[in-house]
C-alpha cells in the first residue's frame, strides 16, 4: 500500500515507514525498517546500545534523512516536510536541552517562545502542565538543582508546551531511579487518555511491557513488532528461575547441560530455558549439587521480554 500524505484521515497510521535505511559509511544503523504505529498508541522500541534506536527516532523527527526508503509521520513526509512536521511533534532526546541557570518556570517560558505559543494560551497551558507533572511547587527552583527524575519531568513539560499530536521520547528514563520511572509512566498514561500518540525508545525491557506494542531492534533490524503478550506467546520452551549462593558457578554448570537451551543472569537469579520443566528439574538439581553449589532454589517462571529478546536474537543469528 503506497504511503499517503493525508493529514486528516483518522484511519491513517500516525507513523508509517517503508524500507527506511540509514548508513554511516559501512555501518547500517537502520536496516530496511517497515513499521506502522496507530494513532493513540504507545509504541516502545527496545534494544541494546547501538541497536539503532536513536537513529530511528532522528529519522522519524526529520532531523536526518534516510539513504533509502521513506517515512510518513502524522501525514508529513519526513524529508520534504520536516519543518511543518516539527511543529506537530514533541521530541525529547536523551540529553534534553534544559538550562541549569534558569528556573523551572523560565525553562518552560523559553520553550514556549521557541514554539511561538501565544501568551493567552500559556496562561492556561503552563499551570496545567505544572500541576500535571507535580512541578508546581518547584517552579522557582533552578533546573540545575533538580533531581534526575524531576529534570525528566521538566523536559517532558517543555516538549509538551505547544500541545503536540505525537510525543517522541529517546530513552526518557535512562539513569532515573525506579520510583521516578514509575511516576514518569503515570504521566505518559494520562497523556494517552487524551488521544496522544507516544513513540519511545528504551533499554529497559520491563518498561517496554507498559506500552501497547513493542518493537525489538537489533543491529538496525526490526526483529518483531507486536503486543507484549503476543511476543511472549512465541517463547520456545519453558522457563525455570534458579537461585543459589554461587550464581557464577551455577551458570557455568547449567550452560553445559544438554537439557538447557539458554541461561540468562537477571539480578540475583538465573533464568534458565528448558524444553520441559518437569523433565529438566531433576538433572539440573543433580548437576548443581554435584558441582558443590549450595542454597539451590528452583521454581517455575514465566518469560519476560528480556528472555524473549535474547531467544529471538539467537534465532535470527542462526
Q: Residues 280-308: pLDDT tens digits?
A: 999 999 999 999 999 999 999 998 888 88
Q: Starting from the edge strand earliest in sequence, which strands make up the sheet with 166-170, in order?
A: 89-92, 166-170, 197-202, 42-46, 213-218, 221-226
Report the greatest alpha carbon distance in the chain. Answer: 75
Q: Check whether 126 has a pLDDT greater than 90.
A: yes
CA 293 to chain centre: 37
What would the pLDDT profile of 220-229 be if each residue is shown by its tens digit?
999 999 999 9
Beta strands in 135-236 (DSSP E): 166-170, 197-202, 213-218, 221-226
Task: Give the C-alpha separation, 223 to 61, whole Å.
Answer: 22
Q: Check whether 6 has a pLDDT greater than 50.
A: no
Q: What is the dihedral of CA 39, 86, 143, 185, to 10 degrees?
A: 10
What would the pLDDT profile of 71-87 be if each residue is shown by its tens digit?
999 999 999 999 999 99
Higher pLDDT, 104 or 7: 104
Domains detected in the chain: 15-231 (3.40.50.300), 236-302 (3.30.70.100)
pLDDT at 3: 38
* Mean pLDDT to the nearest integer, 125-152: 92
Q: What percent of the chain has pLDDT over 90?
A: 76
Task: Give the C-alpha separation, 169 to 153, whole Å.
Answer: 12
Decide if 231 contacts 308 (C-beta within 8 A).
yes
Q: What percent of the chain has pLDDT over 70?
A: 96
Task: Give the C-alpha separation, 139 to 108, whole Å.
Answer: 9
Q: How confident is the model at residue 317 (pLDDT cuts 50, 70, 90)?
A: confident
What would the pLDDT profile of 50-70 be if each residue is shown by its tens digit?
999 999 999 999 999 999 999
What would the pLDDT profile of 193-224 be if each residue is shown by its tens digit?
999 999 999 988 888 999 999 999 999 999 99
Angle at 168 between CA 93 and CA 212, to 5 degrees: 130
Q: Check whether 11 has a pLDDT greater than 80.
A: no
Higher pLDDT, 174 or 238: 238
Q: Check whether 175 has a pLDDT greater than 90.
A: no
Q: How confident is the model at residue 1 (pLDDT cuts 50, 70, 90)?
A: very low
Task: Give the C-alpha separation, 181 to 183, whole Å.
Answer: 5
H or E element: which one contains 65?
none
Q: Check whether 155 has a pLDDT greater than 80.
A: yes
The DSSP output letter for 101 is T
Decide if 158 contacts 97 (C-beta within 8 A).
no
Question: Which residues, including other chains, have CB under 8 Å from residue 158's CB and lie 6 or more apart?
Answer: 96, 98, 107, 108, 110, 111
Nearest Cα residue to 235 out of 310, 128, 129 = 310
Q: Check whether 28 has a pLDDT greater than 90.
A: yes
H or E element: which one contains 55?
helix 53-60
pLDDT at 2: 35
pTM strictly above 0.85 = yes
Q: Check whether 10 has a pLDDT greater than 80.
A: no
The pLDDT mean for the chain works out to 91
Amino acid at each position: 500500500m503506497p504511503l499517503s500524505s493525508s493529514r486528516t484521515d483518522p484511519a491513517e497510521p500516525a507513523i508509517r515507514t517503508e524500507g527506511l535505511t540509514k548508513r554511516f559509511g559501512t555501518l547500517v544503523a537502520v536496516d530496511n525498517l517497515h513499521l506502522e504505529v496507530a494513532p493513540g498508541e504507545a509504541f516502545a522500541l527496545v534494544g541494546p546500545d547501538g541497536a539503532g534506536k536513536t537513529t530511528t527516532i532522528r529519522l522519524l523527527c526529520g532531523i536526518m534523512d534516510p539513504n533509502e526508503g521513506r517515512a510518513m509521520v502524522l501525514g508529513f513526509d519526513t524529508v520534504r516536510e520536516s519543518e511543518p512536521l516539527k511543529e506537530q511533534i514533541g521530541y525529547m532526546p536523551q540529553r534534553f536541552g534544559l538550562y541549569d541557570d534558569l528556573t523551572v518556570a523560565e525553562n518552560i517560558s523559553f520553550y514556549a517562545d521557541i514554539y511561538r505559543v501565544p501568551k493567552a494560551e500559556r496562561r492556561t497551558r503552563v499551570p496545567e502542565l505544572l500541576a500535571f507533572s507535580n512541578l508546581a511547587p518547584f517552579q522557582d527552583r533552578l533546573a540545575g538543582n533538580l533531581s534526575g527524575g524531576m529534570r525528566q519531568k521538566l523536559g517532558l513539560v517543555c516538549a509538551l508546551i505547544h500541545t503536540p499530536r505525537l510525543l517522541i521520547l529517546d530513552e526518557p528514563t535512562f539513569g532515573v531511579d525506579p520510583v521516578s520511572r514509575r511516576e514518569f509512566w503515570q504521566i505518559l498514561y494520562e497523556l494517552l487518555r487524551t488521544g496522544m500518540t507516544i513513540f519511545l525508545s528504551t533499554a529497559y525491557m520491563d518498561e517496554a511491557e507498559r506500552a501497547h506494542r513493542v518493537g525489538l531492534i537489533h543491529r538496525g533490524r526490526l526483529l518483531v513488532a507486536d503486543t507484549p503478550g503476543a511476543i511472549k506467546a512465541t517463547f520456545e520452551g519453558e522457563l525455570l528461575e534458579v537461585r543459589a549462593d554461587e550464581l557464577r558457578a551455577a551458570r557455568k554448570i547449567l550452560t553445559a547441560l544438554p537439557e538447557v537451551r539458554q541461561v540468562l543472569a537477571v539480578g540475583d537469579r538465573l533464568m534458565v530455558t528448558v524444553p520441559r520443566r518437569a523433565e529438566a528439574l531433576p538433572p539440573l538439581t543433580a548437576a548443581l549439587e554435584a558441582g558443590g553449589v549450595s542454597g539451590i532454589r528452583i521454581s517455575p517462571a514465566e518469560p519476560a521480554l528480556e528472555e524473549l529478546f535474547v531467544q529471538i536474537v539467537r534465532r535470527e543469528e542462526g
